[in-house]
Structure 1
């Protein structure tokens, strides 16, 4: 019978030669896991200084800036956007009166005049403020039209009763419905016309402080400046409603927007 000693020694030699290979696997796994570590990396110094030293309206979030420009620079003149806080305060004073530059916080003052085309919307834009402001201005316009005397009224006799028409019919007349004929879609659209509101915004100097990027700097009308200025006007009213309350926003709408457009309001 052959001896089993050579076979056992061979097996022991084989096992001893395989042991280092088995022990090396965990080290490889640990080494590769370090490359995919979930530990938060240290922030670059420029991120901390930018976020801490400069306000939001004055900077683009550093992590939203591309490392290089993907599109060529547009041809033609360059449109310069206002970055002077004093110039912005002057526009608010012209629109809201003395102390108008103190009605809103610094961040909201810039947000209300920032269109979504400026800096690709990375510094915030005024669409939501304009949505609220438009609802407020629309409501105040409807109430003003209801209090406005109608252009035409049904003819009445000497006693104040409506005169029947040729078919013998007379309309139902009530004081609550007297001015309802003035509240039409055409009348409201003519009051809140884009051209009229943009002209009013130019009177207040909002065209000099609104931050936006026209398609062509040499053709602002073709780039939609009327819609941009109208949005800034709506957004300022919406911002006042959020920070000062609805009563103040209604008063600003009546005195600074509807009154210059031809409406009159009683002092009470």
Structure 2
């Protein structure tokens, strides 16, 4: 007859055989290949030495930011001739000296000189463009034009007495007021009148833009582009040289060729 101790031993061994066995814990020792594939890092990836050298050696106006260059071209190449954009600093300095006078090439910093003649259509605006400078310059030119219209002589008939025997009030300071109208100012600052002035200073040879058709610059809007460059130069002069010099440039280089006379 089997003893109680042997029965208990049999039952305990049976229970242990019925329990689910736990899987053995494996220690994963990552290899070099798995580490490179699974490890995440927040450090900045190393830059291409070619881009670093190019960015260090070339100024900003002369290069497109490396991270803004697409790896392949999306649009097809345009048909027709290719428009050549000026990249010669000496040619740009000649245009500034022609417009601003002697030492005009030193009136602005190198970066701003190129920015003032860069339209937003050039290089998709990735090197900066002159819209903000032109906005400021347009306001300055508009103000000086209004003052010139107020001070310009008007050919008006002498005032006559009305039926009640009253004489209209007149004053020398108000003599130019009838000429200060939106129509008069818009006709003076029309792009068809300002574009030839910009061409006289050679801005058509140095303005950086991309026409829709290189064989039809007039239809591509060259007059508006040149007018924007003219305004942008005035805005740049106001920011770097002050409003007094900018007002003098507007009077002598823009409004005087349009027929206005100013006292020295």
TM-score higher than 0.5:
yes
Equivalences for residues 9-88 of structure 1 within 5 A: 11=19, 14-15=21-22, 17-20=23-26, 23-24=27-28, 34-88=38-92
Q: Which residue of 2 aligns with 1:159?
A: none
Q: Which residue of 2 aligns with 1:4?
A: 12
Q: Which residue of 2 aligns with 1:95?
A: 99
Structure 1 residue 166: deviation in Å? 5.5
Q: Deviations over 1:4-26 (max 9, x none)?
A: 13433664x823x3322xx55x9
Q: Which structure 2 segments of 5+ residues have no match?
A: 1-6
Structure 1 residue 120: deviation in Å? 0.4
Structure 1 residue 44: deviation in Å? 1.3
TM-score normalized by structure 1? 0.88
103-112 vs 184-193, greater mean Cα deviation? 184-193
Measure, in 1, the Cα distance between the counterparts of 2:155 and 2:128. 44
Equivalences for residues 113-124 of structure 1 within 5 A: 113-124=117-128
CA RMSD, Structure 1 to Structure 2 (Å): 2.2
Measure, in 2, the Cα distance between the counterparts of 1:79 and 1:32. 48
Q: Which residue of 2 aligns with 1:237?
A: 234
Structure 1 residue 170: deviation in Å? 3.2
**1:264 correspondence with 2:252:** no
Q: Which residue of 1 aligns with 2:172?
A: 175
TM-score normalized by structure 2? 0.89
Structure 1 residue 50: deviation in Å? 1.7
Equivalences for residues 127-146 of structure 1 within 5 A: 127-146=131-150
Measure, in 2, the Cα distance between the counterparts of 1:87 and 1:71. 31
**1:193 correspondence with 2:190:** yes
Structure 1 residue 34: deviation in Å? 3.8
Q: Which residue of 2 aligns with 1:104?
A: 108
Find the residue that maps to 2:11 and give its secondary structure: coil
Q: Which residue of 1 aligns with 2:209?
A: 212
Q: Deviations over 1:205-226 (max 9, x none)?
A: 0000000000000100100000
Measure, in 2, the Cα distance between the counterparts of 1:113 and 1:211. 6
- 8 Å contact from structure 1 (residues 151, 182) kept in 2: no
| Aligned pairs, number | 254
Measure, in 1, the Cα distance between the counterparts of 2:163 and 2:222. 52
Larger Rg: 2
Measure, in 2, the Cα distance between the counterparts of 1:151 and 1:79. 48
- 8 Å contact from structure 1 (residues 114, 211) kept in 2: yes
